[in-house]
Each structure stands twice: as C-alpha cells, then as structure tokens.
Amino acid sequence: MSKLKRSELKGYTIKMIKANDSVCPLCERTMDIDSFVADHCHVTGVIRDAICRNCNGLEGLAAGNGRHPHSNEGVDKIQWAKNVAAYWEKHEANPRKVIYPSHLTPQEKIIANKKKRAKAAATRRARGK
C-alpha cells in the first residue's frame, strides 16, 4: 500500500469519479466533479472511493469519527446501518398517524410564506414613507 501525496489526491479522486461515471455510489446521483471528495477510513487512512460531499458527511457521522454518540460504545456500524435501513422501511410502510409539532405541511408552508412576504412588503412600505 502506498500513501498519496497531497498533490496527487485531486487527480486520484478524479479517476475514481470517472470510474463511477460521476455517480455517487451512496446516493446514486450524478454530480459535477467539484461535488465529490475522496472518502477514507479515519482509522486506517485507506481511501475507499469518491463520494459526494453530502454523503461523505453523513457517512462520517454514521461511521463514528468521534462525533457519533455510539462511536466509542462498541456498536457494530454495519449492523447499525442495516438497522437504520430496516427502521426507515418499517416506518415508511406503516407510518404513524401523527405529525411532529413544528413540521409544516405543504399548505402550511404556503401560508407561512405568504405571511412572510406580506410582512416584508409592509416593512418596505413603512421605510418608504
């Protein structure tokens, strides 16, 4: 195994991006080259692949990297990820019949935006007087 020089990282990352046809292997979205980063293991330093910045942040939280609440509790990260997928599938198939208090429905968002625009217009009119 060889260690890349910092000056070699961008070229290596571009090769990985092209090998994946500019598709993030996690979210499967097509991205421009600047949206990718070289994902690596924070324990071994081994580069895994080029993934989009959003997925890299989420993967880093899930993997631990000193920020995840379970990072030092011996939680098997692969089993944890499987549990998260099963949890999402379960709750998507059988959603509860209640909505979180601060969540706005699409209709509530429209109303809130109208109020916000009306308030901004009133503020502009008051300043113009």
Claim to verify: residue 111 and residue 68 sit in the same structural domain: no
What is the domain count for the chain?
A: 2
Give me the CATH number covering residue 63.
3.40.1800.10
Question: What integer best gives the mean pLDDT of the chain?
Answer: 86
Backbone angles phi, psi at 4, to 5 degrees: -70, 150
User: How many CB atoms lie under 10 A from the CB of residue 19?
Assistant: 10
126 has pLDDT over 80: yes
Claim to verify: residue 65 and residue 23 sit in the same structural domain: yes
Share of the chain above pLDDT 70, in %: 91
The model's pTM is 0.63
Share of the chain above pLDDT 90, in %: 54
Claim to verify: residue 19 and residue 66 sit in the same structural domain: yes
68 has pLDDT over 70: no
Q: 41 in a domain, yes or no?
A: yes
Provide the residue range defining the domain that includes 40.
Answer: 6-73
Q: 63 in a domain, yes or no?
A: yes
pLDDT at 44: 82
Closest CA relative to residue 10, chosen from 44, 47, 45, 42 = 47
pLDDT band, residue 87 (cuts 50/70/90): confident
What integer is the mean pLDDT of 25-39? 93
